[in-house]
């Protein structure tokens, strides 16, 4: 069994990598690369300065991983070292030293271009697709260690990992000097109580919306208005601030305000805000919708089965037909209309904000509508089928009431298929989130995908593809493992002798 | 003796009568239609589907609606006219008749739905039948299916549309790209169930080849299952298409569809509700009528319902 689980996990990771690679290759091969500038403010500003434009454009392409880009000073510095006399001579493009450097770069596959107006020379090298893909995956997992920060301004930065206390001296943490983050492992009272900053994922930077912030940070940082409370900083001053001390990371140069608060260079901290992050928002809605749909559909399905052919059964069946036949766009708007006109619920999430419970009602219902229909259909059919099973007949002949039969006998058996349907419900909720978040203007991952596509934010699209795919594939894996836990008769392992029952998906 | 013989006479063998089978006459398709037309709802929906289909195919030929051109844009008096006798569905913010726009959009939506559905079903049934019949192929296709099925369809569709750029044929490609595989998987399971039934074992022992087995023994058995799938496929394609267009990754500006009209007129949701609700209603009626006709036909095509 352990071997089986291991193989399944490896296979799931492989699937995630395959899907992400395909997405990566397609996006970076087929989406025209210059479209990223369509909504870029800086590009628009310098677009009438032909001496700066190519430098900016190529620098951005390098950031996005399309090519290697070296400006003239970088070429000379790289070949002869900074602030040497050879470097100064090399900066003249007619010199022999420059030609040597040029030949060196050309051997590596660089192509030289001269900007006519300023006479500045730069070199670019297209990175082949497979190399790009490799560098994407090799940079993806980042492990923080004391040698990460290589800062010319602070060459004698102390490099060590130690156990220290937080600012208020209320808790101990594994801390680091020389790492990207100050706190590597720390404890607090929010779920899951033990947190780490050692291993992180890197998908590149967001461009052009959320300009220059790492994509994963965009998705995980809090949104909304700053929440201020008195904080005692390492220097001893106490100010009303929103700083979250555990998020502090390295900052090369401290401004005068930082200097009054911090004693070291770990001053780049996130701020505490009142609304959950995009990821958090999406998870809240996903989980609410999942719980809601199970809470509604299983009792209702049972009730429909025990009242087969009566009015309630017919209403339920009509609802199933309605959800299958009517396009999602139409019924979500219809429900939104009903909610706002008859129950005075907000038509969009931002109108009352994340801290008002009313904002959550209609989006959750909309997200749950399709999965309720699927579960309802399934539960009803299962119950109707089981009604004539031998164990039910026996229970009935023993004189048990219908309620007892349904709750104590049939429902127990139904748990397994219910657990089996869970991954499907999660996959459905991911797709549904893209629709509902757009319609209710919920600042979550589904809306972010939509926004990113509109402004050609390739890195963000890949990050979201990765997250959604991983969620879907992992939920299938967990669903399979869950049913082997619940039902000992089911073994997913081929080698087990005796009763063999495969679960088909 | 002789008298007795005279009273009887030999009767010649009546070939016609001896060949007659006393069971009542049964024609499969006749029974299917008879069963289908028993349902009044289905007839009403069939008429509705036919009317919507013909209007949306014919009306755009005369209206010459072009989403890029607004000929009456300078005439303020015909902006935001509520539905009246001249403009049956009213006019929008540029003075375009919503009636023209809706049917032009409906034509695109129906065309896409029918094209994509026929590709998905055709490819899916063909591959699925072979898949279910061939055990070597099963191993490989199942692996591919497991990867594809675990990724949300809408995510794949949005991603591919983003990569390919907006366009009619791109949209059809994306709607077919992964969807046929789920059809194929479903058919595979159905084929596997009936592949080894006695009548098929007998047929195989008698030397029937695989193609004939699939086309004569197995697929006819699946008629009602296939029609059920078909009736679900059309609404699901219409739903996906409308949603992709709504997100702005579906069709280019020159082509309109119901999803696109909805996304344009959502701005007037509160002020001029008819602009928003009429396209929604037409979209819903198309897919509901197709679905109910399909479901009833699927029920009718199951011989168990024939009396």
- Residue range A465-505, pLDDT digits in tens: 898 888 888 888 888 888 777 777 766 555 444 444 444 43
Give mean pLDDT, residues A436-453. Answer: 88
Q: Let me know: does B157 contact B170? Beta carbons within 8 Å.
A: no
A425 → chain B, closest CA residue: B152
B108 contact A CB<8A? no
A330, A458, A477, best to mutate vs chain B, most B CBs in 10 Å: A330
Residue A239, strand partner residues: A231
In chain B, residues with a C-beta closer than 8 Å to the C-beta of A431 are 152-155
Residue A47 makes CB contacts below 8 A (sequence gap 6+) with A53
- Between B306 and A458, where is the model more confident? A458
Contact A465 B291 (CB under 8 A): no
Asked if B292 is an interface residue toward chain A (Cβ–Cβ < 8 A), one would say yes
pTM of the model: 0.83
Task: Say if residues A185 and A194 touch (Cβ distance below 8 Å).
Answer: yes
Q: pLDDT at position B120, please?
A: 93
pLDDT at position B4 is 66
Q: Which residue of A has its CA nearest to B151?
A: A469
How far apart are the C-alpha atoms of A387 and A380, rounded to whole Å? Answer: 11
Does A478 lie at the interface with B, CB-CB under 8 angstroms? no
User: For chain A, what percent of residues have pLDDT higher than 70?
Assistant: 96
Mean pLDDT for A179-188 is 84
Q: In this structure, what is the dihedral angle of CA atoms A351, A353, A359, A360, given to the nearest 10 degrees?
A: 150
According to the CATH classification, is domain A278-486 in 1.10.3720.10?
A: yes
What is the predicted pLDDT for the residue at B122?
93
pLDDT at A499: 41
Per-residue pLDDT, B2: 59
Question: What confidence score (pLDDT) does residue A413 get?
Answer: 80
User: How far is the C-alpha of A292 from the C-alpha of A163, rounded, in Å?
Assistant: 44
> Do residue B150 and residue A328 have CB atoms under 8 angstroms apart?
no
pLDDT for B47: 93
Task: Give the distance, in angstroms, between the CA of residue A86 and the centroid of all CA atoms in the same chain.
Answer: 48
Find, among A465, A437, A499, A413, the residue nearest to A285 by Cα: A437
pLDDT at A29 over 50: yes
Spatial distance between the Cα atoms of A379 and A301, rounded to a whole number of angstroms: 5
In this prediction, residue A502 carries a pLDDT of 45
Q: What is the block-wise mean pLDDT of chain B (307 residues), using blocks of 10 residues?
A: 73 81 78 86 91 88 77 71 74 78 89 92 91 85 83 84 86 88 89 86 88 86 86 87 83 84 81 84 88 86 77
What pLDDT shows up at residue B123?
93
Any idea what DSSP says for residue A244?
-
Q: CB A504 to CB B162 under 8 A?
A: no
pLDDT reported for residue B119: 94
Domain coordinates of chain A in residue numbers? 32-135, 141-201+228-271, 278-486
When pLDDT is averaged across residues A432-438 and rounded to a whole number, the result is: 86
Of A30, A327, A454, the CB nearest to B239: A327
Of the candidates A327, A290, A320, the one whose C-alpha atom is nearest the C-alpha of residue A421 is A290
Regarding predicted confidence, which is higher, A394 or B90? A394
pLDDT given for residue B46 in this prediction? 92
Q: Tell me the chain B residues in contact with residue A23 when contact means C-beta distances shorter than 8 Å.
A: 159
**Mean pLDDT to the nearest integer, A238-258:** 81
């Amino acid at each position: 069994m352990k071997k089986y689980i291991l193989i399944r996990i490896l296979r799931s990771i492989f699937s995630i990598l395959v899907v992400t690679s395909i997405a990566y290759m397609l996006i970076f091969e087929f989406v025209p690369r210059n479209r990223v500038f369509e909504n870029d403010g800086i590009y628009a500003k310098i677009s009438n300065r032909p001496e700066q434009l190519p430098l900016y454009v190529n620098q951005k392409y390098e950031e996005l991983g399309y090519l290697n880009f070296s400006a003239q000073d970088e070429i000379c510095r790289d070949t002869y070292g900074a602030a040497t006399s050879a470097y100064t001579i090399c900066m003249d493009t007619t010199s022999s030293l420059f030609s040597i450097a040029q030949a060196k770069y050309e051997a590596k596959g660089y192509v030289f271009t001269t900007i006519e107006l300023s006479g500045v020379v730069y070199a670019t090298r297209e990175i082949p697709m497979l190399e790009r893909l490799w560098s994407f995956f090799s940079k993806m997992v980042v492990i923080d260690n004391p040698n990460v920060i290589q800062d010319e301004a602070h060459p004698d930065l102390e490099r060590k990992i130690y156990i220290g206390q937080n600012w208020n001296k209320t808790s101990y943490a594994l801390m680091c000097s020389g790492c990207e983050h100050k706190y590597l492992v720390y404890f607090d009272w929010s779920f899951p109580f033990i947190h780490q900053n050692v291993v992180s994922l890197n998908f590149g930077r967001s461009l052009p919306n959320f300009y220059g912030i790492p994509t994963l940070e965009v998705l995980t940082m809090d949104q909304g208005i700053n929440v201020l409370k008195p904080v005692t900083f390492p220097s001893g001053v106490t100010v009303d601030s929103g700083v979250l001390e555990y998020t502090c990371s390295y900052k090369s140069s401290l401004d005068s305000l930082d200097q009054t608060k911090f004693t070291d260079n770990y001053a780049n901290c996130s701020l505490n805000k009142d609304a959950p992050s995009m990821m958090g928002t999406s998870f809240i809605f996903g989980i609410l919708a999942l719980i809601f749909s199970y809470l509604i559909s299983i009792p209702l399905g049972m009730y429909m089965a025990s009242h087969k052919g009566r009015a309630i059964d017919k209403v339920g069946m009509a609802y199933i037909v309605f959800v299958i036949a009517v396009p999602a766009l139409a019924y979500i708007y219809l429900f939104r209309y009903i909610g706002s006109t008859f129950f005075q619920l907000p038509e969009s999430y931002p109108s009352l904000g994340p801290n008002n419970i009313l904002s959550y009602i209609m989006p959750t219902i909309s997200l749950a509508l399709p999965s309720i229909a699927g579960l309802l259909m399934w539960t009803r059919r299962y119950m109707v089928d089981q009604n004539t099973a031998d164990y039910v007949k026996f229970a009935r002949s023993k004189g048990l009431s219908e309620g007892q039969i349904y709750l104590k006998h049939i429902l127990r058996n139904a748990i397994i298929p219910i657990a089996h349907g869970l991954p499907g419900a999660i996959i459905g909720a991911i797709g549904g989130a893209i629709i509902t978040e757009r319609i209710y203007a919920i600042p979550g991952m589904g809306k972010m995908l939509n926004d990113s596509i509109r402004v050609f934010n390739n890195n963000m699209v890949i990050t979201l593809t990765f997250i959604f795919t991983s969620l879907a594939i992992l939920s299938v894996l967990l669903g399979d493992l869950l049913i082997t836990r619940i039902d000992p008769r089911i073994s997913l392992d081929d080698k087990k002798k005796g009763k063999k029952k495969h679960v088909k998906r | 003796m002789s008298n007795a013989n005279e009273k009887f006479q030999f009767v010649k063998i009546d070939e016609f009568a001896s060949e007659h089978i006393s069971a009542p006459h049964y024609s499969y398709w006749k029974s299917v239609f008879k069963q289908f037309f028993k349902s009044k709802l289905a007839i009403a929906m069939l008429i509705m589907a036919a009317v919507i289909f013909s209007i949306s195919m014919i009306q755009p030929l005369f209206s010459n609606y072009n989403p890029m051109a607004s000929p009456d844009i300078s005439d303020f008096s015909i902006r935001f006219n509520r539905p009246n006798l001249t403009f049956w569905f009213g006019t929008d913010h540029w003075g375009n008749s919503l009636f023209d726009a809706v049917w032009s959009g409906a034509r695109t939506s129906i065309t896409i739905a029918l094209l994509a559905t026929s590709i998905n079903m055709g490819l899916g049934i063909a591959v699925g039948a072979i898949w279910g019949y061939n055990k070597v192929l099963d191993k490989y296709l199942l692996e591919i299916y497991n990867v594809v099925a675990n990724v949300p369809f809408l995510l794949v569709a949005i991603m591919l549309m983003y990569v390919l750029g907006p366009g009619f044929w791109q949209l059809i490609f994306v709607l077919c790209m992964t969807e046929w595989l789920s059809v194929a998987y479903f058919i595979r399971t159905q084929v596997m169930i009936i592949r080894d039934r006695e009548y098929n074992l007998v047929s195989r022992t008698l030397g029937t080849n695989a193609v004939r087995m699939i086309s004569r023994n197995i697929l006819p058995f699946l008629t009602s299952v296939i029609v059920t799938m078909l009736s679900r496929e059309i609404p699901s394609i219409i739903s996906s298409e409308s949603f992709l267009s709504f997100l702005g990754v579906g069709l280019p500006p020159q082509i309109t569809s119901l999803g696109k009209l909805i996304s344009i007129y959502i701005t007037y949701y509160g002020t001029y509700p008819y602009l928003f609700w009429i396209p929604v209603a037409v979209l819903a009626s198309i897919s509901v009528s197709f679905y109910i006709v399909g479901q009833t036909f699927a029920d009718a095509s199951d011989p168990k319902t024939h009396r």
